[in-house]
Amino acid sequence: MKLLYSIIFIGLLNGYLYAQLTINPQIGINGSFLTNDQTEISHSATVGFQLGINLRYGGFIYGEIGVQWNRFQKEITYTLLGLNDDIELDIIEIPLIVGIKALPLGIIDLRLYTGVAMSFVTNVGDNALSIGKDSYNSPIFGWILGAGLDLTLITFDLNYEIGLSNTLEINVSDISIT
């Protein structure tokens, strides 16, 4: 009899868990900006893109974990030598988010969320400034603040990530002309 109760309990629990688990494929655009203490080096961002997937679990209060591949593009200028170049940067990011459905209407849900992200630099494109993968810290930690809109099967998210760790470790003396 205990076996029958256990099977029924697991079956009901499985249905409950499945009803609250959402798998979201992701595709989007991004931009990034770096702050810098060195006046000889300046940064500007262009639009990049991202692909990923996340798992969201919960109801009114939910948790979310995912994995994203991001390609960032930055223009870095070394003003003393008049050098500048576009650098492509590939990053794998793992966000861990907690949120609430601020306006849960069923067909349309407005979400507010926050969390942390851990990112790993996987590739730095060739560039004239000799900035490579070893110039970037890895992992890189960030704090995420955002809002999302769920329209039945499609979700839209807009978030801002605040850097919690230094991203680029470069000294002016490390830059060489190639």
Model confidence pLDDT, tens digit, residues 57-103: 998 999 999 999 999 877 777 666 667 777 788 999 999 999 999 99
CB 113 within 8 A of CB 144: yes
Question: Across the chain, which distance is largest between two alpha carbons, in Å?
Answer: 81
- Residue 81 tokens read as 């030598």
Strand order in the sheet with 154-163: 21-30, 41-58, 61-78, 83-104, 108-124, 140-151, 154-163
pLDDT at 95: 96
What is the CB neighbour count within 10 angstroms for residue 42? 14
Q: What's 162's DSSP letter?
A: E
Predicted local confidence at residue 19, as pLDDT: 55
Tell me how far apart the alpha carbons of residues 118 and 116 are, in angstroms, rounded to a whole number: 7
What residues pair up with 154 in beta bridges, in sequence order? 151
The 10s digit of each residue's pLDDT in 107-119 is 899 999 999 999 9
Enumerate long-range contacts of 151-154, CB under 8 Å, 24 or more apart.
151/107, 151/108, 152/107
HSE-CB for 25 with a 13 A CA cutoff: 2
pLDDT, tens only, 120-154:
999 888 877 677 788 778 899 999 999 999 987 78
Domain boundaries, the chain: 23-174
User: Is the predicted pLDDT of residue 15 greater than 50, yes or no?
Assistant: no
DSSP H helix total and E strand total for the chain: 1, 7
Report helix, strand and coil shares of the chain as percent, to nearest 5: 15, 60, 25
Closest by CA to 142, choosing from 42, 47, 68, is 68
